[in-house]
Amino acid sequence: MKMRSLLVVSAALMLTAGAAQAAHAWEDPGTWWGGLWSYDQSSAPRFSAHELSLDLSGSYTAPERKFEDIFDTDIRHGKWGGDVGLNYFFTRELGLSVDANMADNGGNLVDHVIGNVVLRFPIESAGLAPYLFGGGGRGTDRVWEWVGDFGVGLEYRMNPGIGLFVDARYIWADKSSDSILFRGGLRLVF
């Protein structure tokens, strides 16, 4: 049941992603959409200030005993799921993000909602941007609790409108066990 709900929510978000477009997309939607799925070698910057983006990704969550044992943990007992997020960058390097993870673990649909400060390091010539992030939020699965996280990631931009990303984070939980979360997916920039 939870997986079906996750698929319905993901499909709805993908169908409505175009509704959150910025002014340039509204002024000439044919140009924005026509160039969205192409590789761009033009001189237009792939990473910019005042950038709003939507993350749609798959996720894998594995329980952790404690941070000191991170490399001793068996991740074969984790759960697959999905994640949706929203990012806004004030400058090319500094931004805020919020995301909600939904793992297929038999609990609530949304397992946690976390807000982060993101520091990215764009390498414009390669279309790559490694990034660091950290923040906190609220866990909702099994028990309601406060959570904090810290992670690293890498994004590849094919053009200024679309990118692929992977990241990993450690999540400290207030009442339940800690966890590690891996995400990989699509980033739509508006």
**pLDDT tens readout for residues 61-96:** 888 766 556 555 556 677 899 999 999 999 999 999
Tokens 């950038």, located at residue:
51
Computed from CA positions of residues 168, 14, 158, 24, in that sequence, does the dihedral angle turn out positive or negative?
A: negative
Q: Stretch 157-176: mean pLDDT, rounded?
A: 91
Q: How far apart are CA 176 and CA 105, in angstroms?
A: 15
In this predicted structure, the answer to whether residue 13 has a pLDDT above a threshold of 60 is: no
Question: Collapsing DSSP states into helix, strand and coil, what is residue 1?
Answer: coil
Range of the domain at 58: 2-189
Count of domains observed in the chain: 1
pTM above 0.85, yes or no: no
At 170, which CATH number? 2.40.160.20
Which of 161, 167, 164 lies closest to 149, judged by CA? 167
